[in-house]
Amino acid sequence: MFFFRKKSKEASTSAAPPAKIVFDDRNLDPLLHYVEHYSGVNLAPKKEVLKQRLVLFCENNDIVSFDALFARIKADEAMRQSFINLITVNETYFYRETIQLEAAVAWLKERGGKARVLSAPCASGEEVYSLSMLASEAGFAPFSVNILGIDINSEAIQKAQKGVFSERSLHRLDEHLKGTYFMKIAGEYAIVRSRFLGVDFQVLNIFDDAFLRLEPFDIIFSRNMMIYFDDVFKQKTIERFHKLLKNGGRLYTGHADLVPNTPLFTKVTQGRLSYYEKV
Ligand SMILES: C[S@@+](CC[C@H](N)C(=O)[O-])C[C@H]1O[C@@H](n2cnc3c(N)ncnc32)[C@H](O)[C@@H]1O
């Protein structure tokens, strides 16, 4: 348990001592349980670090306890979204684990025809744009590879849609790629939209019913999301991906994602590269 003095207008103007607001961290547990049920994200290991950020979040939203925060999150969709935006980790960059991206594009090239790829989650979109750039470099015609990026974090999706990135996010790209796919504006890199036809983004929770209503995909990329899930939610996640993949479709996961054993997929390893093929 810890105590926090809420800043309030009355407190600064009246002579009476400010009221003590109590944030009892035992009251956090139902909230963390709800967040896991809603998004899969298991915040329990981060509880200590998270507490301070949540108190600040409450202060900024005039919420006086973790119980009240929980009630608001359940009842108010906008508040729930702000909370999800606060607790999700959106770290990503262009050409991350390029070996997987290249292998996926090479496979699509081999098969020929049109293809649909899902990046779930895409965070601020670098994975989606990277796949699109690799497809262009491999000679795919515009719109022959459609890539949808989804993420539960609405701010990340807004950034993806805006398509303006920092030098740091592009650190793996050479001058040819930067010059072909971006315009440098005020020290940042804005995508050249005409180079990214067939790319789309959507705010979507993979546990939402609407997720399963997406059209089937040839490839799903799901990298660095399941690391935040426990085994039960990892299992649920791969079952959902299985439903959304076409027969023989491929699932690429991050090295740290540790997919549980499942009869739904066959794991294929080729040197440093591995992926899951839908059974
Ligand atoms: C570290 S980023 C990974 C981005 C990218 N795939 C990469 O590897 O660079 C993890 C993302 O998972 C998203 N996320 C967590 N739970 C989610 C859920 N239930 N549905 C959709 N996205 C989720 C977070 O919002 C965050 O943007």
Domains of the chain: 2-87 (no CATH), 98-278 (3.40.50.150)
Ligand 1 center–CA 96 separation, angstroms? 14
With the most atoms of ligand 1 within 8 angstroms of its CB, the residue from 151, 227, 230 to mutate is: 151
The 10 Å Cβ neighbour count of residue 23 is 23
For atom 2 of ligand 1, the residue with the nearest CA is 90
pLDDT at 18: 53
Backbone φ, ψ for residue 144 (5° rounding): -80, -25
Per residue in 85-136, pLDDT tens? 999 999 999 999 999 999 999 999 999 999 999 999 999 999 999 999 999 9
CA distance 18 to 95: 52
Atom of ligand 1 nearest to the CA of 90: 27
Does ligand 1 lie within 6 Å of residue 206's CB atom? yes
Residue with tokens 């989650």: 121
Q: Cis before residue 121, ω within 30 degrees of 0?
A: yes
Q: What is the pTM of this model?
A: 0.92
Local confidence band at 17 (pLDDT 50, 70, 90 cut-offs): low
